[in-house]
Each structure stands twice: as C-alpha cells, then as structure tokens.
Structure 1
Amino acid sequence: MERRAKLTEIDIVRGIAILGVLMVHSTSFATVDMKEASVYGVYNFLNIFSKIGTTSFILLSSFVLFYNYYPQPLTVQRFKKFYRNRLLYIVVPYLIFSAVYFLLRWYQNGFAWEISEMWPSFWSKVWRGQAYTHLYFVFISIQLYLLFPILLLLMKRFKWLAASAVFVGVALQWAFFLYNREYWQVTNRGSWSPTYFGQYFLGAWLGIYFDRIKSWLIIAKENITKSKVTVWIVLWAAWLASGIAYVNIFYNARLHGTRYSNALYDGLWDIYTMLTPLVLIQVAFLIGGRMTSSFWVGRLRHLGIVSFGVYLFHPLVLLVYRKYPLTSGGTMVHHAWYAGGFLCALIISWIVVTALSRLTGWSWLLFGSVPAQLKSAGEAKRPTEPTTSSPSASA
C-alpha cells in the first residue's frame, strides 16, 4: 500500500511547541520572584499561555503514528521495527539523560557518593519519570508507545471506536481525573498517560481521518466556504477564550491567593491544550509553503526537527545560567536577565544539538532520531528526492 504524503508542516508545529516549553521553563522563577513588578501579568501570561509543549507533542506523536500506520497492513515485522526504534531513539536517550540529571542533583544536594544508596534512588526516579522535572514527558511518551499497537488494533477492528476516538479519549481522561481524586490519589498525576488521553485520542482521530477533514482544518483559498470559515472562527474564538481564562485563574491564584476548584483548572487546561495544536496546524499550513523561501520559517522548521534534543538538553543550560542570579540592578536589568535565560536555553541548546547531530556518529544515543531527521530534511531539498514518504514518528 502506498504511503501517505509527508507533512513537513508538522515540523513547524513542533518548532512552535518547543518555543512554548522553553518559555514556560525560563519564566518559572519569574512567576515567583517578580510578583511586585508592574508587569507581573506579562510573566504570568507568558508562563501559562505557553503551556502548550507537552500536550502538543503528545497529540502530534499520536497524529503521526496513526497517520502512518492506520492505512498499513499490521504485521509482526512492522511492530518489531516500531519497538526497536522506540527502544533505540526514545528509551536510550531517556536513560542517559536521566542518569546525567540524577547525578547533577545528587551532587547539588551534597549526598554521599554511595552506590548502594544511589542505585535504588536512580531507578525509583526512572520508573516514575522523575530524574528531573522535564523528563516526565519522555516517560509519558514511552507509556503511550506501549499502548499504541493495542489502540491501533482496536481502532482498525472497530471502526466506531476510531470515529468516536475523541469522545472516548476525553471520557477515559476524566474518569481517571475523577477516580484519582476520589479513590486512587495517585501522586504526580501528570506523569501518567491517562492524564493526556484526550489529546492523544484527538491526535489519533486526526491521523486516521486527516485526508477527509483537512479541507475543514487547513485555511486555504480553495477551502473557503461559509461553513468552513465559521468553523475556523469558532475554533480560534474558543481557543483564545479558553487560553485567556486559563491565564486569568492562575494570575488570580498566584497574585491574590484566589482558590478555584480542580475541575475548573482541568477543564480549561483540557480545552485549551486540545484546541492549541489545531490552531498551530492551521498556522503551520499557512506559512509552510515558505519553508524554502523564508529564512525564519525555515529556521522554525529546523527547530522543530531538533526539538526532541533541545527538550532534553535545555535544562542543563538553564541550570548553569541560574547559577549566576542577579544581586543588584533595576527592574529592567532583571527583565533582561529573564529574557537572557530564554535566549540562552534556545540558542545554545539549538547549536549543541545541531552540531553534535551533524558532526558525530553517536549523537543518536542522546537525541534519538534527530540526526536522521536532519539528514532527511537536507536531502528533501534536492529535486530528485521523492515527495511521498512518512512523516517523522518522533515527537
């Protein structure tokens, strides 16, 4: 069976998503330390409105997997290759970076360097995705990769399940929320995959039916009808309204101590983070045709290609940067310091991941399939390269 067309625009969405991750992490200290600043609302906005990274990556990963695999016949060999690639390109980098961050934190905390104490602690954190604050995302991804073949088989077997995937995903997600609150009380709920079933199942539905629904999603001259324009307006209005409301409740809670129910936080987060990737896909297709003609669009796609490596590496940059906090200076100097953290995390991580991926033969151990994706993207610019191949399955 012929593979579906490659969607290079997905790399642009990844690029925007990783910018969101960097913004959240680089403003996290400011949301605590800058409460007296007149522009605290700006820091809160940047920190909360940018919370699109993890959920967007999860949705994109699901979208790409189902987009590629759903039309294909299911064979043992195909699944063997699937799991082999995830072991090499996801699990191995996860273990290596978990070890790096674990050792750094062990050193920072001044613990004794005793293997008998370190080894159990390390594996305890690895099995919970807690070797460092950002590694929970990779831990979630591994869980979802384990679930993928089962969900794929079920959706191919039961067409009604594929058609109603969004409703099923949201129902399972909220059942987990409610049962966890009332009975299970699982700690670190965000480290477990059911928390993201709404986004994951939405990605599956988009991947399965993309050829049918893309004219309703993609904003283009040839797709313009009254009903489709109405859908686009409603989508953007709902996205902005949910995002602004989500920002507002955090602003009131952080600055004024206002209390809201967990259901409100979860509800606004769910709506906002499920709509955001749809909006980003629209933006990506709007500007995607300029990937080779526009420097900035091309760089955004490149950032998306290396996003997994940047995600894993950037906390190291912030860790070093924050070793030298400001001890004096006016408000503008402090604003510049926080901006510098974002720029350093972005630029240094981007350069390191790109350089190691291009100049070494072992960088896949750290950054997974990033080196192969960079090579593929470079070859795709040649006119003799075929234009139909599957999108990257990494996210």
Structure 2
Amino acid sequence: MERRAKLNEIDIVRGLAILGVLMVHSTSFATVDMLHNRMFGVYNFLNIFSKIGTTSFILLSSFVLFYNYYPQPLTFQRFKKFYRNRLMYIIVPYLLFSTLYFVLRWYQNGYAWDLSQMWPSFWSKVSQGQAYTHLYFVFISIQLYLLFPIFLFLMKRYKWLAASAIVIGVGIQWAFFLLNREYWQVTNRGSWSPSYFGHYFLGAWLGIYFDRIKDWLIIAKEKITATKLAAWIALWGVWLAAGISYVTIFYNARMYQTRYHNALYDGLWDIYTMLTPLVLIQIAFLIGGKMNTSFWVGRLRHLGIVSFGVYLVHPLVLLVYRKFPVSGGSTLIHHAWYAGGFLLALLISWVVVTALSRLTGWSWLLFGSVPKQLEAAYADPRRDGKPAAKTTASA
C-alpha cells in the first residue's frame, strides 16, 4: 500500500507549540512576583494564552500515528518495531532526564544522600511523571503509546468508532473529570492520559480523515468558498473567545481571588486547547511553502524538529538562570530579566540539542529520534529542487 504524503508543516506546528511551552515556563515566576505591577495583565496573558504546548503535542502525536498507521495492515512485525522505537526513543530519555532532575531536586532540598530513601522516592515520582514539573508530558505520551495499538485496532475494525472519535474522546475525558472530582480524587490528574482523550481522539480523527478534510481545514486562496470562509471565521472566533475568556478568569482569580467552578476552567481549557492545534495547522500550511526560502520559517521548522529535546532540556537552563535574580533597579530591568529567561531557555537548549544531535552518535539516548529527524529533514531531496518520493509524516 502506498504511504501517505509527508507533511513537513507538522514540524512548524511543533515549533509554535514549543514556543508556547517556553513562554509558560519563563513567565511562571512573573505571575507571582509582578502581581501588583501595572504590566501584570501582560504577564498573565502570556502565561495563560500560551498554555498550548502539551495538548498540541499530544494531538500532533496522535495525528501522526493515525495518519501513518491507519492505512497500513496490522502486523506483528509493525507493532514490534513500533514498541521497540518507543522504548528507545521515549522511555530511555524519560528515565535519564527523570534521574537528572530528581538528583538536582534532591540536592536543592538538602536531603541526605541515602539510597534507601532516594530509591523509593525516585520510583514513586517516575511512576507518576513527577520527577520534575515538565516530565508529566512524557509520562502521558508513554501511556498513550501503550494504548495506541488498541485504539488503532478498534477504529480499523469498527469504522463508526473512527467516525465518532471526537465525541467518544471528549465523553471519556469529561467522565474522568467528573468521576475524579466526585469520587476518585486522583492526585496529579494532569499526569493521567484520560485527561487528554479529547485531544488525542481529535488527533486520531484528523489523522484518519485528513485527506478528506484538508481542503476544509487548510486555508488556500484558490480554494476559498463562502462556506469555507464562514467555517474558518467561526473557528478563529470561537478559538479567540475561549482563549481570552480563559485568560480573563485566571486574571480575576490571581488579581482579585475570584472563585470559579472547576467545570468553567476545564470547559474553557478544553475548547481553547482543542481548537488551538487546528489554528496552528492553518498557520503552518499558510507559511509552510516558505520553509526553504524564508530564514524565519526555516528556523521555526528546525525548532519543531528538535522540540522534544528542547522540551527536556530547557527547565535546566531556567533553573540555573533563576539562581541569579535581579534585585532592585528599575522595573524595566525586571522585565528584561524575565525576557532574558525566555530567550536563553530557547537559544541555549536549541543549540545544545542541535549540536549534540549532529556531533555525537549517542544523543538518541537523551533526545530520542531527534537526530534521525534532523538527518532526514535536511537530506530532503526537495531542497535540491528534485521531486520527493512520498513518505510518511514524521512521528
């Protein structure tokens, strides 16, 4: 069976998503320290409106998996290779970075270097994605990779499940939210995959039916109709309304201690973060044709390719940077310090991941498939003006 066309634009979406992650993490201290500053509204906006990274990566991962695997026959060898790659490229980096961040945190807290205490604590945190604040995303990804063959089999076997994927995913997600609030009280709810089933199943639906729906999703001047234009305006309108509302309730909660029902937070978050990847895909396809001619679009694609490594490394940069806070001075200096945290987290982690991926043969231990993705992307024959053979979207 012929493999589906490669979608380089997905790398641009990843680049935009990792910028969101970096913005959230680099402004987290500012939402506390700058609470009474007149620029607090800006920091709150940047911190909350940028909460698109984890959910976008989950949706993109699901999209790529179903886009690649759904048309292919299910075989033992295919899934053997699938699990081997995830063991090598996801679980190994997760364990190594969990160890690194656990040891750093243990040292920061001044605990005794006693293996009888460290070992149980380490495995307790690793088994819940809590070795450091950002590693819950990798833990969620592992859960979803384990479930993927089951979902794929069911959606191939029962076509109505594939067609109804979005409704089913959102339904399971909200059932988990409600049951957890009323009965289970699972700690670290965000570390468990049912919290993201709406995003995951939307990604699955997009991946399965992308060839049918891409003319409706992708904005192209030559394909504009009144109906499509109305759909695009509605998408952006609902997305902006949900995002601004989500920012507003956090502003009121932080500034005025206004209390809202949990369902409002979850509802606005769900709408905003499920629509965001659709908007990012539209942006990516609008600018994607320039990835080989525009410096900035090309860099954005490159950032997307190395985004997994940047995600793992950047908290270490911020950890060191925050050891040197500014004290006193004008407000402008404080704003510059927060901006500096974002820029250094971006640039240092980007350079480190790229350099290690290109100059070493062992960087896959740290960054998974990033080295192979870099090699494949920049060996693309289309960069030499030759027609490219059809390949899959990069997973």
Bin for the TM-score computed over the shorter chain: over 0.9
Mapped to 2, the partners of 1:105 and 1:76 lie a distance apart of 41
Partner of 2:344: 344
- The Cα of 1:110 is off from its aligned counterpart by 0.7
Contact preservation (8 Å) 1:379, 1:385: no
Q: How does 1:41-52 map to 2 (within 5 A)?
A: 41-52=41-52
2:330 counterpart of 1:353: no
Whether the 8 Å contact between 1:94 and 1:138 is mirrored in structure 2 is yes
- Is the contact between residue 243 and residue 272 of structure 1 (CA under 8 Å) also seen in structure 2? yes
Q: Secondary structure at the match of 1:132?
A: coil
1:71-104 deviation per Cα after TM superposition (whole angstroms, max 9, x unaligned): 0000000000000000000000000000000000
Matched with 1:125 is: 125
In structure 1, what is the equivalent of residue 33 of structure 2? 33
Offset of residue 222 of structure 1: 2.5
Deviations along 1:353-390, one digit per CA (max 9) or x if unpaired, are 00000000000000000000000011002445733111
C-alpha distance in structure 1 between counterparts of 2:135 and 2:319, whole Å: 15
User: Which residue of structure 2 aligns with residue 215 of structure 1?
Assistant: 215
Q: Deviations over 1:201-238 (max 9, x none)?
A: 00000000000000000000222111111100000000
The whole-number CA distance in structure 2 between the counterparts of 1:379 and 1:17 is: 24
Q: Percent identity?
A: 79
Amino acid at match of 2:85: N
Partner of 1:387: 389
Corresponding residue of 2:225: 225
Provide the C-alpha distance between the structure 2 equivalents of 1:129 and 1:18, rounded to a whole number of angstroms. 19
SS at 1:145's partner residue? Answer: helix
Letter in 2 for 1:344: L
Q: For 1:365 and 1:173, how far apart are their aligned partners in 2?
A: 33
Q: Distance in 2 between matches of 1:206 and 1:22?
A: 26
Q: Residue in 1 aligned with 2:278?
A: 278
* Number of equivalent positions: 393
Deviations 1:304-351 (A, max 9, x none): 000000000000000000000111111000000000000000000000
The CA distance in 2 between the partners of 1:283 and 1:299, in whole Å, is 15
What is the TM-score when the length of structure 1 is the normalising length?
Answer: 0.99
CA distance in structure 2 between the aligned counterparts of 1:104 and 1:223, rounded to whole angstroms: 53
Deviation at 1:392, TM superposition (A): 1.5
Question: CA separation in 2, counterparts of 1:115 and 1:32?
Answer: 35
Cα distance in 2 for residues equivalent to 1:140 and 1:94: 11
User: Does 2:362 align with 1:362?
Assistant: yes
Aligned to 1:204: 204
Matched, 1:139 2:150: no
Q: Distance in 1 between matches of 2:366 and 2:318?
A: 18
One-letter code of the match for 1:102? F
User: Partner residue of 2:298?
Assistant: 298
Residue 164 of structure 2 aligns with which residue? 164
Alignment of 1:55-70 (within 5 A): 55-70=55-70
2:310 corresponds to: 310
Q: Which amino acid aligns with 1:47?
A: N
Residue 181 of structure 1 corresponds to which residue in structure 2?
A: 181
Structure 2 CA distance, aligned partners of 1:311 and 1:348?
12
Q: Distance in 2 between matches of 1:348 and 1:207?
A: 33
Decide which moves more: 242-251 or 108-117: 108-117
Pair 1:247-2:247 in alignment:
yes
Aligned residue type for 1:351: V
Aligned counterparts of 2:336 and 2:386: Cα–Cα separation in 1: 47
- Aligned-CA RMSD value: 0.7
Amino acid at match of 2:190: G
Deviations 1:181-205 (A, max 9, x none): 0011100000000000000000000
For structure 2, the residue ranges without an aligned partner over 5 or more in a row are none
- Alpha-carbon shift at residue 171 of structure 1 (Å): 0.3
Q: Distance in 2 between matches of 1:384 and 1:370?
A: 24
Given the alignment of the two structures, is residue 372 of structure 1 paired with residue 372 of structure 2, yes or no? yes
2:257 alignment counterpart = 257
Counterpart-to-counterpart distance in 1, 2:244 and 2:201: 25
Tell me the distance in 1 between the aligned counterparts of 2:32 and 2:239: 27
1:122 shift after superposition: 0.5
TM-score normalised per structure 2: 0.99
**Aligned residue identity for 1:365:** L
* Higher alpha-carbon deviation: 74-83 or 323-332: 323-332
Q: Which consecutive residues of structure 1, in runs of 5 or more, have no partner in the other structure?
A: none
d(CA) in 2 for partners of 1:333 and 1:194?
43
SS at match of 1:37: coil
